[in-house]
Amino acid sequence: MKERLEALKNEALAQLQEVDSPENLNDLRVKYLGKKGALTEILRGMGSLSAEERPVIGQVGNEVRAAIESVIEVKQNAFQKAETEKRLQAEKVDVTLPGRPMSQGGVHPLNKVIQDIEEVFIGMGYNISEGPEVETDYFNFEALNLPKDHPARDMQDTFYITEELLMRTQTSPVQMRTMQSMDGKSPVKIICPGKVYRRDDDDATHSFQFNQIEGLVIGENIRMSDLKGTLQQFVQEMFGANTQIRLRPSFFPFTEPSAEVDVTCVKCGGSGCRMCKQTGWLEILGCGMVHPKVLEAGGYDSEKFTGFAFGMGVERIAILKYGIDDIRHFYNSDMAFLKQFSRI
């Protein structure tokens, strides 16, 4: 039996020297050291040996097992090292190569227009006021001289949540909240940017959600000429020093008198083109002197205080400023469209 063990060891070591893959190595381990392997098969015959022979053969068997396991371990380590080297070569990174530039985003064109408008009015001494988008009927309509049966409510078809709660149709409620917080004593000079909601069908010029910026000035001896001068300075800073404005009589329940404001066409400069329908003018916003009833609702004495207000759609300003032909481009998340504004 001792000779058989020695022969087995020599055979196993010889084959292990020729092994060329981890799979073949595992096969040889099972062949010689497995539960049904050659070494186990020989050692099962120890039952026929005498008591004196068993320890000797057992020791030889252990030595054979240890010799084979030792070679297997060396081979396994060699294969693992080779595999590691191969993977490192495949994953090698040249740290001297220049880095890959990261794509840089930009400000959304609507946010950029809002920032530009805010900068213009902050430069004129205005503060920025904000308020809730879910508003009460009182602040959105009634306090602004629009009682529940007023026909002008039809101009602002509304998303109602309950009979008294709605998605605001304008940022005017922020003006009223600000006025009431002043206790009818302090002057007001604010702009109110934010999202508003109306039940419009989406098309090239309308959206159920859009951005609006309204302005409000209240004080003593505020006149229509102050409003016109403010708007003239605003349009020149937004569209260029040669831009002029034109006021046309209009109607808004919360102002009296009221006016629509046109600017000289940003494309033709007022000479007439397809964009302005050959008129030389483009409508841009609405404005007027604050109605006495609105002043009273805000806590101000309409005999002592006067004021003016104006409101504009941010999308309308952006369309004119950047020559965009469809309001839906702002909301479609089209990267090809948005990348045009990454450097503005």
- DSSP per-residue letters across 66-119: HHHHHHHHHHHHHHHHHHHHHHHHHT---TTSPPPPPP-----HHHHHHHHHHH
Residue ranges covered by each domain of the chain? 1-91, 109-340
Q: Render pLDDT for 312-336 as a digit per residue (tens, 0 to 9).
A: 999 999 998 888 888 999 998 888 8
How far is the C-alpha of 139 from the C-alpha of 153, rounded, in Å? 13
pLDDT value, residue 47: 65
pLDDT value, residue 99: 81
Confidence of residue 155 (pLDDT cuts 50, 70, 90): low
Closest CA to 261 of 210, 293, 237, 227: 227
Hey, what amino acid is at 276? C
Min mean pLDDT across 21-25, 222-226, 277-281, 293-297 is at 21-25
How far is the C-alpha of 313 from the C-alpha of 300, rounded, in Å? 28
**pLDDT at position 156 over 70:** no
How far is the C-alpha of 11 from the C-alpha of 64, rounded, in Å? 11
Rounded to 5°, the CA angle 166-167-173 comes to: 90
The mean per-residue pLDDT over the stretch 152-173 comes to 85
**pLDDT at position 73 over 90:** no
| Burial class of residue 87 (count of CB atoms within 10 Å of its CB; 0-12, 13-18, 19+) | exposed
**pLDDT at position 15 over 90:** no
pLDDT value, residue 165: 93
Closest CA to 310 of 192, 197, 204: 192
**pLDDT at position 87 over 80:** yes
**pLDDT at position 121 over 90:** yes
Hey, what amino acid is at 282? L
**pLDDT at position 261 over 70:** yes
The mean per-residue pLDDT over the stretch 117-129 comes to 96
How far is the C-alpha of 214 from the C-alpha of 288, rounded, in Å? 12
pLDDT value, residue 187: 95
pLDDT value, residue 52: 73
pTM (two decimals): 0.69
How far is the C-alpha of 314 from the C-alpha of 285, rounded, in Å? 10
**pLDDT at position 141 over 70:** yes
pLDDT value, residue 202: 82
pLDDT value, residue 152: 66
Query: In the chain, what percentage of residues exceed pLDDT 90?
Result: 50
Q: Render pLDDT for 197-245 as a digit per residue (tens, 0 to 9).
A: 988 888 888 888 999 999 999 999 999 999 999 999 999 999 999 999 9
Is residue 283 marked as binding? Answer: no
Is 109-340 CATH 3.40.50.920? no
Pairing of strands 127-128, 188-197: parallel
Hey, what amino acid is at 316? R
Q: List alpha helices for the chain, DSSP H.
A: 2-18, 22-33, 38-43, 53-90, 109-123, 137-140, 172-181, 224-239, 292-297, 314-322, 335-338
The mean per-residue pLDDT over the stretch 124-141 comes to 95
pLDDT value, residue 11: 82
Distance of CA 191 to the CA centre of its chain: 25
Q: Render pLDDT for 24-46 as a digit per residue (tens, 0 to 9).
A: 888 887 887 777 777 777 677 76
Secondary structure letter of residue 161 according to DSSP: S
Hey, what amino acid is at 128? I
Averaged confidence pLDDT in the chain: 88
How far is the C-alpha of 164 from the C-alpha of 135, rounded, in Å? 8
